[in-house]
Amino acid sequence: MSSSPPPDPSVTLLSPDAGSFRDPTSRVYVDGDTVWRGLSSVALADFAQLAASRFYAEALAAGDIVATERVDPPAGLDHWAGALRHERVTTLSYPYEWSFEMLRDAARLQLRLTRAAVAERIITKDASSYNVQFRGTRPVFIDVGSFERLRPEPWPGYGQFCELFLNPLVVQALTGVPFQPLLRGRVRGLSAGTTAALIGGRGKLTKGVFTNVRLLARAEERHASRDDERDVKGELQRAGFGPALIEAQLKNMAKAIDGLSWDKDHSEWSGYSNRSHYTDLDLRAKADFVTAVVGAGARPALVLDLGANDGHFSRTALAAGAEAVVAVDNDDLVIDRLYRSLQAEGETRILPLVLDLSDPSPALGWRSRERPSFVERVRPDLVLCLAVVHHLALTNTVPLDEIVAFLREFDAPLVVEFPHRDDVMAARLLGRKRDGLFDAYDQPQWEAALAPRFAVEHQVTLPSGTRTLYAVAPR
């Protein structure tokens, strides 16, 4: 495999994306809103075959693959043999922020595209879940450089598909343990050995678990204990390994993915959508406040709804004129239900994500730059922070000024709700605390914490008199 020649040091180069370095034949560069991909001579030949295929044209038209065009290498990338220009996905999300059904739909897309490619003697050289992004509730494949000409060898992406798609789904389906913290703890995903240890004796009759988890775990263990290296790829080539066997493998993997389900029926916040602690007047006043802020001035391209639960106020923001919403909540069941309900509605403007605001996604991977933090990736035009502050302050014991500092990091106007000490939910949380420890949780202290970082443009106390909404702008 040949890569591009080294760059001319006299030429000013574009900076490569920090997460794009593992493929020596292709690299991504981001310049403002433009996404470029440099291609070596090998990758350029692979792309030529891809561009001539029927499945690729159909996938582009369907929106399953990010919009891409071949271009002459721009200044700073002319050390590559060729270049592509991709449409930019506005908001990047990562697998440890997806719900069960989101990861499963991403896995289905990876397998569907790979199977269609194999039919035209093309294959995906890897199968990372990071190669998929979501536009609202629609998964889209972004790593066009992953496609290469089919060679007489097994599917190169098999192991990676298991570690970053199948194994996390197996663990959650069979044990109920959420996969998100596990994926956040290891960018490479879950090995077969780790997965087998986590599921124990479960799933003996579950399709694909024995073959793709237990047998693979045993193979990993045997390989680790051997000093010699078998030429497995060479053995398969000599045995005539071809497209028919790859297609059978992909078909079986698709059946394994489809056979998994997560049947949890309730969680801490899955019943919150009834909002019984709000009066009808309060709910109406809250919706009116959000509608007025979203509708004032320029139409926000992106609203970030923190603590979105069932997406009620995300939908309110859309109805008021927002173009898109990122709706986050720390309850993965709530987000899974929101994702499924949005799909059923055909609503693709809301991207639901699993995120604990008290422990948001940090920067991960190589040099802690390969996967940027949530705050770095999501740059909204407006932030909604409704029914959140008291949980951060009283449940997670985050000081009020620290909450404000976190919200200021988004560098956007903010709608924030502060439940007073006598609010039913705040009083319940305070009732669990030792007297005197949380005296600082009060409206005057909250407004004092806001003042250095935000300017209050408008505020209203809800009709019940126990919660105040603020529309503020960053200083």
- For the chain, the structural domain boundaries read 26-86, 95-258, 272-474
Please report how many Cα atoms fall inside a 13 Å half-sphere around the Cα of residue 340, on the Cβ side: 10
Q: Flag the least confident range among 266-275, 361-370, 408-417.
A: 266-275
**Is the domain covering 272-474 a CATH 3.40.50.150 domain?**
yes
The average pLDDT across 187-198 equals 93
pTM: 0.91
What pLDDT, on a 0 to 100 scale, did the predictor assign at position 162? Answer: 95
- Name the more confident of 221 and 320: 320
Q: Which residues pair with 417 in a beta bridge?
A: 469
> What was the pLDDT predicted at 10?
47
Closest CA to 24 of 145, 153, 128: 145
Residue 98: the pLDDT is 98
More confident residue, 470 or 222: 470
Query: Taken in order 9, 11, 17, 22, is the CA torsion positive or negative?
Result: negative
What does the alpha-carbon distance between residue 114 and residue 52 come to, in Å, rounded to a whole number? Answer: 16
* 156 token code pair: 């190169």
- Please report which confidence band the pLDDT of residue 207 belongs to, taking 50, 70 and 90 as the band edges: confident
In what helix (H) or strand (E) does residue 35 lie, and over which residues does it extend? strand 34-39
The pair of structure tokens assigned to 57 is: 């044209």
Per-residue model confidence as pLDDT tens digits over 438-473: 999 999 999 999 999 999 999 999 999 999 999 999
Q: Phi and psi dihedrals of 77, rounded to 5?
A: -125, 10
Q: Partners of 384 in the beta sheet?
A: 305, 415
Confidence of residue 208 (pLDDT cuts 50, 70, 90): confident
- Distances in whole angstroms, Cα of residue 314 to Cα of each of 150, 271, 308, 385: 44, 18, 7, 11
